[in-house]
Amino acid sequence: MPAKMNALQQGFIRCHDCGYLVKKINQQSFCPRCDSQLHERRPHSLQRSTALLLSSFFLYIPANIFPIMTVNQFGTGDAHTIAGGIVELIDSGMIPIGLLVFVASILVPTSKLIGISLLLLSVHFRWQINARRWTMMYRVIAFVGRWSMLDIFMISILVDLVNFSGVQIIAGPAAIAFAAVVILTMFAAENFDPRLLWDK
Amino acid sequence: MNSTGFDACPECDLLINLAQPKIGEKVHCPRCGLLLSQPRKQNIERTFALSIAGFILFFPANLLPMVGISLLGNANTGILMSGVISLFNQNMWPVAVVVFLASILFPLVHISLSLLISGHLYFNRPNRYLVLWMRWMQHLDEWVMLEVYMLSIIVACVKLMAIAPLKFGWGLYAFIALIVITTLLTSTLDKQLFWRRIEQLRKDNRHAS
């Protein structure tokens, strides 16, 4: 076996669902073990990932400028954006929790958007990169994405518990946009095929 | 992996020819460093046991009150579903649907599939749907977000504790236990072993008939 050879160059396709290694014979398109469709690489990886990423970039704007929730106290409403909620937490002395929400709601989504953009650009323009390091970056992006749902679940809890005749918490329009950003970037990461970083 | 013993790394496509790793060994891809396999002993038995425990815990975790709050002489208690309903009532149905899927439906389906699959493998019972269940379970993996929900409960409680007294119910304890079980389950379940066993069952069944 030649050293450091891609399976595809040797005529093998790895089933995406069950990991079965199949010798590529003309147009064999289904995995003999699990019947799922075989693809050399994720189909239309770059196009799909780019489309999902662009949509999340657009939705990222309303997610950050509109209020994510409003606290109604005896007739007066106090609307918070994502950033505003964090500032308030830190102001009232809850620094660790404030930092946690900052990481989950601002740092992770922003670095994810930038990270996936870089991955897509590097493959599209065939940048000379350290593929191992960039694969690591991909893994981190794919792993942390779901933790951004923190804010969405928190709203669902707060809206449910703080529902009294005088005091109420109402979810704001940014919640929909933010949930969409998290889900779309998760799909974007899922559709990106890290093996493209190694194909030369 | 196939019968020839060759395998390809799922993330860098390096063609590898490895001997079957022993129990307790870890195999990393020599090129990109991905953890390729880590066989554990009694994998199917353990997965089956954890799935039963998780399936049972799912119900108290969802039906018993989790957190109670009292403010201005009124009291409210919340469960997973009541958060979804509250969002729905505020016309936030897209968010309500997302919360419902990630914290209730997907975890239930995931644990049921894991119970079905490991049960069939444990009793050596072939079933033509095993392959399909296995594929569904893998696709759901990423969308089961119970541990994220747990972190949200903590943040929400810290926020609320500043304004009103809170009471924690049995639902919360069941939920914490459920998260421990599902975390153990995802780290235990050896997918490659499961796929090999499913293939084996299929072959045996074909020879028998």
Per-chain mean pLDDT for chain A: 90
pLDDT bin (cut points 50, 70, 90) of residue A76 is confident
Residues of B in contact with A183 (CB under 8 A): 98
The answer to whether residue A22 scores a pLDDT higher than 90 is no
User: A110 and A88: one domain?
Assistant: yes
Does A19 sit within 8 Å of B10, measured CB to CB? Answer: yes
> How much is the pLDDT for A140?
95
Average pLDDT over residues A98-121: 94
User: B32 and B61: one domain?
Assistant: no
Among A68-77, A102-111, A120-129, A171-180, name the one with the lowest average pLDDT.
Answer: A68-77
The answer to whether residue B1 scores a pLDDT higher than 80 is no
The answer to whether residue A172 scores a pLDDT higher than 50 is yes
User: A101 and A22: one domain?
Assistant: no
The answer for B 53-72 residues in CB contact with A (under 8 A) is 67, 69, 71-72
Higher pLDDT among residues B5 and A178, named by residue:
A178
> How much is the pLDDT for B56?
97
Considering its fold, how many domains does chain A have in total?
2
Mutate which of B1, B11, B12, B13 to test chain A, going by most A C-beta atoms within 10 A? B13
Higher pLDDT among residues A85 and A3, named by residue:
A85
Q: Residue A141 — left, alpha, or beta (φ > 0 → left; ψ -120 to 50 → alpha)?
A: alpha
> How much is the pLDDT for B154?
93
User: A34 and A65: one domain?
Assistant: no
Considering its fold, how many domains does chain B have in total?
2
User: B33 and B100: one domain?
Assistant: no
Does B12 sit within 8 Å of A89, measured CB to CB? Answer: no
User: A32 and A107: one domain?
Assistant: no
Does A100 sit within 8 Å of B72, measured CB to CB? Answer: no
User: B30 and B97: one domain?
Assistant: no
User: B60 and B31: one domain?
Assistant: no
User: B65 and B107: one domain?
Assistant: yes
CA dihedral B127, B133, B138, B144 (to 10 degrees): -140
Average pLDDT over residues A185-198: 94
In angstroms, what separates the C-alpha of A94 from chain B's closest C-alpha? 8
> How much is the pLDDT for A106?
94
Higher pLDDT among residues A137 and B202, named by residue:
A137
Q: What is this structure's pTM?
A: 0.91
The answer for A 46-75 residues in CB contact with B (under 8 A) is none
CB contact, 8 Å: A101 with chain B?
yes
Higher pLDDT among residues A103 and A164, named by residue:
A103
User: A144 and A90: one domain?
Assistant: yes
Q: What percent of chain A has pLDDT over 70?
A: 96
Among A153-157, A176-180, B187-191, name the one with the lowest average pLDDT.
Answer: B187-191
> How much is the pLDDT for A62?
96
Q: How many CB atoms lie within 10 A of CB B187?
A: 10
The answer to whether residue A2 scores a pLDDT higher than 70 is no
Mutate which of A12, A70, A156, A193 to test chain B, going by most B C-beta atoms within 10 A? A156
CB contact, 8 Å: B155 with chain A?
yes
User: A33 and A109: one domain?
Assistant: no
The answer to whether residue A1 scores a pLDDT higher than 60 is no
Does B32 sit within 8 Å of A132, measured CB to CB? Answer: yes
Of A20, A36, A164, the CB nearest to B2: A20
User: A7 and A103: one domain?
Assistant: no
User: B48 and B28: one domain?
Assistant: no
Q: A66 is in which domain, residue-wise?
A: 44-197
> How much is the pLDDT for A3?
54
The answer to whether residue A117 scores a pLDDT higher than 70 is yes
pLDDT tens digits along B176-186: 999 999 999 98
pLDDT bin (cut points 50, 70, 90) of residue B3 is low
Does A156 sit within 8 Å of B195, measured CB to CB? Answer: no
> How much is the pLDDT for B4?
65
User: A36 and A48: one domain?
Assistant: no
User: A81 and A179: one domain?
Assistant: yes
Q: B30 is in which domain, residue-wise?
A: 1-39
The answer to whether residue B167 scores a pLDDT higher than 60 is yes
User: A184 and A85: one domain?
Assistant: yes
Distance CA(A20)–CA(B135), nearest Å, equals 13
User: B107 and B197: one domain?
Assistant: yes
> How much is the pLDDT for A65?
95
User: A26 and A66: one domain?
Assistant: no
> How much is the pLDDT for A10?
84
> How much is the pLDDT for B65?
92
User: B3 and B79: one domain?
Assistant: no
User: B152 and B85: one domain?
Assistant: yes
Distance CA(B116)–CA(B106), nearest Å, equals 15
In angstroms, what separates the C-alpha of B53 from chain A's closest C-alpha? 25
pLDDT tens digits along A122-161: 999 999 889 999 999 999 999 999 999 999 999 999 999 9
pLDDT tens digits along A4-14: 688 888 888 99
Name the residue of chain B whose CA is nearest to A157's CA: B83
Of B13, B138, B191, the CB nearest to A198: B13
Average pLDDT over residues A175-184: 96
Of A154, A163, A164, the CB nearest to B156: A154
Of B74, B94, B191, the CB nearest to A179: B94
Name the residue of chain B whose CA is nearest to A105's CA: B152
Q: What percent of chain A has pLDDT over 90?
A: 60
User: B158 and B117: one domain?
Assistant: yes
User: B63 and B142: one domain?
Assistant: yes
Q: How far is CA A188 from CA A56, A115, A182, A185, in A?
A: 9, 11, 10, 5
Within 13 Å and on the Cβ side, how many CA atoms surround B106? 18
Nearest of B39, B208, B99, B179 to residue A158 by alpha carbon: B99
User: A50 and A134: one domain?
Assistant: yes
pLDDT tens digits along B133-160: 999 999 999 999 999 999 999 999 988 9
B81-86's contacts with Cβ under 8 Å and 24+ in sequence apart are B82/A160, B83/A153, B83/A156, B83/A157, B83/A159, B83/A160, B84/A156, B85/A160, B86/A156, B86/A159, B86/A160, B86/A163
Give me the total of CB pairs closer than 8 Å, taking one residue from chain A and one from chain B.
Answer: 198
Does A159 sit within 8 Å of B87, measured CB to CB? Answer: yes
The answer for B 65-124 residues in CB contact with A (under 8 A) is 67, 69, 71-72, 74, 76, 78, 82-87, 90, 92, 94-96, 98-99, 102-103
In angstroms, what separates the C-alpha of A19 from chain B's closest C-alpha? 6
